[in-house]
Structure 1
């Protein structure tokens, strides 16, 4: 709120009317890479769906949570960006990169402002981790409940008092901790983007299959088939951009997903 108010009311740089010179040309692939860098900020929309089984009246609350959640985040990010653009010149934003927001806070509120911004970022990260700790283990728990994983009986265990998937949560957190201490954090985020959006696109295609099978569902798809078509096109654009920018990362992502194929075949055989 401080960044938005100070920037919009008192900023005079007006980077919107300026041009930042670059050494390379602007391409569609470069635009795709820029989008890749922002995707995690909006990825929470899919996490709330994992909690559907534990939400009262999910048919009513899930659409509201997704629409208003994404809408609010989008508006806030746009206003924060506009506030920074009003204070910091375009050439300086280009040079500072992801440090532009911290530089803005220092200009606006002094050294204390920069520290407060860092505290805010830490709080935001803690909130993000809280949401993912709640939602990611639900995927492992649901699969274990359907006996689709090794050690399904143990992974499907629910705490008798709190009704939380304790073993699945501890397993997911242990895997995450192992990845965090062995691989660079930025590289981890790059590696999983392709896998995430590959399955998103498959899920969007799944809507057409559900309609063709005339499966009765408590959820509607507004503006069908326009909505899933737009979603598929957006997902494919992300996949193509990732292929062009990081083929090695894409192959690594596919390799780790492929490790699940023999597990799947063994479970099917049993």
Structure 2
């Protein structure tokens, strides 16, 4: 009886091992790409569980998955972004990052979408044009594109402001306008619209944009992995198969208008 029992156990073990050989094995984890960003709804922000989400997070997750990587977002000091990417502490910078004027500072992937830099004022303000801002106070984000445009007079018809207030926290500038501490703010149009929706603020965006620019992903000029070129090619595939429009459509009205990157060359 003992010999029969042992034989049965041996057979069962053999069958179990054979069946186990045919079982589906978990896929190996993809290598990580560390993405440095900042909170900037609707592009990058934290959901109710504290996890990164938003337009850029969804695009990055899908694009890098196609390239064989796992996208990992980490919050950085935005003013230190170039130092961080050049040192290799992060692999790239991604977060509604304007390419204009920075073309040679980084290796760029993109543009994958366009963004309008605009000026917003209180809905009841008597400011309607750039000229009306003479002597007024305007808030911008430190190291952002509007700060660069104003401080270095990179566009025509910039008035003599009463003060240009540079704030490290992007969200503070909108709150400053909402509370009446400043007369205007300058930033990405979509970020302003998102703040208005989230907080019920009543702003009015001036008709003429400061700048229409492409937004992209910045890699260090020292990076020799070819990731910027591969990511640009992946963006083209995602635009062609409708993935980019689908992602933007979950956050923005008329998403197709933000994908007209060909117009930037005109």
TM exceeding 0.5:
no
Q: What is the TM-score of this pair, normalised by structure 1?
A: 0.29
Q: Which has the higher contact order (CA 8 A, sep 6+)?
A: 2
Decide which structure has the larger Cα Rg and report it.
2
Q: What is the TM-score of this pair, normalised by structure 2?
A: 0.30
Which has the larger share of helix? 1
